[in-house]
Structure 1
Amino acid sequence: MSKILTFPALQSKQAAISVIGLGYVGLPIALALGQHFRVIGFDHETRRIDALKRGQDLSGELPAEDFRGADVTFTDQAADLQQARFHIVAVPTPIDSHNNPDLRWLEAASRSIGNVLQPGDVVVYESTVYPGCTEEVCVPILEATSGLTFPDDFKVGYSPERINPGDRVHTLRKVTKVVAGCDQEALAVIAQVYETIVEAGLHCVSSIKVAEAAKVIENTQRDLNIALMNELSMVFDRMGINTHEVLEAAGTKWNFLKFTPGLVGGHCVGVDPYYLTYKSQELGHLPKVILSGRQINDGMAAWVAKKTVQRIVKIGKDIVGARVLVLGIAFKENVRDIRNSKVADLVAELRDFGVDVDVMDPLPDPEDVRHEYGIELIEQPRGPYEAIVLAVAHTAFEQVDDTWLHTHLTTPGVLIDLKGELRARISEVDYWSL
């Protein structure tokens, strides 16, 4: 049995820590660890690495001061990982076109680590996966690539990420970190590393599977609650009452959970439940409630498109050739992240009706939007439009009021307000919200 890497070796910087994947999850970890340890930050995107070397976070999440004093070497060369003995994997784990786990990045990261893995090394995964994935998928790759044997020659752990893009309150340091190791020896050194940077403390669990399961149900629970709100919005729409007014009234009860309807996109809430349902079905159980919630949320873009078209018809306008402005393409307010944007689905649905759609969002990189969705962002409205859809409640869209709408809408015109943000501010146009 190989002697495991010691925490003092990391403290003294005799050994380095690597962070593989420098996006929303990996970069905050790398910079925080870099205040205490020697860190190798690896990402395969050369453009991102070049920006990080200049102290610039392309996602817009971290300010330049977070880079100051951090002992981090940013690289796109996998060979540089050989300087590290403690590896943290924070790569994306999306789903494919069939809603099955897409583990390509996770498997590639495991191979990169396996190529440099040494006896006594520790590998910690932060990427969201189904329970069992770390030990069933990642460990065999590490063994096959390195020629080492788990757990005698190297150790593995899991500590699920809890990064919330755009959230300046619940940051890495301020949120309790769930930590697991393949054994007590591994857990001890993993906990020592994370204790150095997480002020809120750690919650250590008995196994890697427990930690994986805890992560995947966090977002599954949220997904199901939003699905309930979305279904309620469909019911209340038929009743002719405003969902947000109903929720405000119900929210005066002390134990009512305050969720709201909306499009569920992004890299977590709209994705993670499928990791759990995949494993559940593999084990012979059909997770009816979880899949039902997913079906509702995945269908919301089509439903909103249908309601938008109906409102345009209601004001006496033709659908084919009607012009619609969609405000926002990011998956949530005040972030640049466009991954799994359900607004893109909404745009596609509207275009299928023959509607001419413009999309405006000042936050994401237009080239990223063009590459990911084939959508060309506009910088300014090119109205008049028969309908305007406030899809994402960016602060940048706070100027939307009756006066702004009169400038850019036809008369009559329709406002679709997905988050109900403008309900109390709009009075002179045809208004609809979830």
Structure 2
Amino acid sequence: MALPTQKDLNSVSFEDIAVAFASKSDQQLRKTYWLFKIMNKSRAVNLGTFFLKLALKLNLPIKNLIRSTIFEQFCGGETISDCEQTITHLGQAGIGTILDYSVEGEETESCYDLTLQQIILTIEKAAHTPHVPFAVFKLSGIAPTELLEAYQREESLNTADQAAFDKVVSRLDTLCSYAYHHDVRLFIDAEESWIQGTIDQLASRMMAQYNRKKAVVFNTYQMYRSESLQGLKSAYLAGREQGYHIGAKLVRGAYMEKERLRARENNYSSPIHATKEATDIDYNAAIEFCLEHLQFMAICMGTHNEYSCQYCISRMKKIGLELDDERIWFAQLLGMSDNITYNLAQAGYNTAKYVPYGPIASVMPYLIRRARENTAMTGQSSREYLLTKNEMERRGISSL
């Protein structure tokens, strides 16, 4: 697939850092600068995350330090009510909030039930708040990972496991039904390949039930996986055959190192594209496919890739779609790529930030993963660091 050059796209500029950082005070900008300067050094991130985990395990009094640094940068608060300021702040810039209860790694029935209730609360918040356009969750937040994996391997489940799996489906249906009846779009996030097949199957079941008139339930497609583009096309064909719409959230992916390591350890071919270029080509091909079939699809591009955002904009213009077509959204993570989010919003496109929240200790696995992903992602931390550095120079303020 031949892609247009950056010059050919000639669309929204993501270089306007004055727009990107307009809402940050000098003090906030300086703090962001130092955080990304540290995160730009992989050794510092590795040492920092090790000592953070150790300190929390030993119950050392470091929560205030975490709250005022990495938590403040990437999270909206510990509760939904704590996120109100962030929701308002983003809303004033024309940016939506996607509340993401980001507690990870807590696998007990009581934790699954608590997560279920939290997601219901985020759906309620979206139903009654104009600036909260979506709700989101991970299936592993309401289900044992081992059970999802066993189901994907098509193992025969014993009576207890089958009852547990039926309970997972019931929880999932509760969320999708609640979203449907409150007219709230609901993202099911992507996860590791060894449970993604189960997620895809259940997401399709929910879309067949709740997406008859429009996309309410969205599945997530990780385009760094070599089979994802075909999976998206197959999902569309299944939707057409059975008469329902497809909600598609497009991401590149967040588990690359884990996927490749497991593939090596278990001696099977990695599901990840061999090159970033192949991922980028599939991502933009997925955008193209969704826009061409928008009559029966809705799309959210969860991406920090400037080119892909520009590519989507150029295709929208060529097709003659409105900038604020409700079937097309862009989304980035809170605390990152503000140059994309704020400039898209100012230009009139539907734009949102993922806003994680949850108790600090419980959200630490997410924050540690975010720090490591930023460091591992080619140029990501460097880009954030340079953007803040350039804005400080533009304002004429020092880093001290």
Higher relative contact order (CA closer than 8 Å, sequence separation 6+): 2
TM-score, structure 1 as length reference: 0.27
Rg larger for = 1
TM-score, structure 2 as length reference: 0.28
Give the number of the structure whose residues are more often helix, by fraction. 2
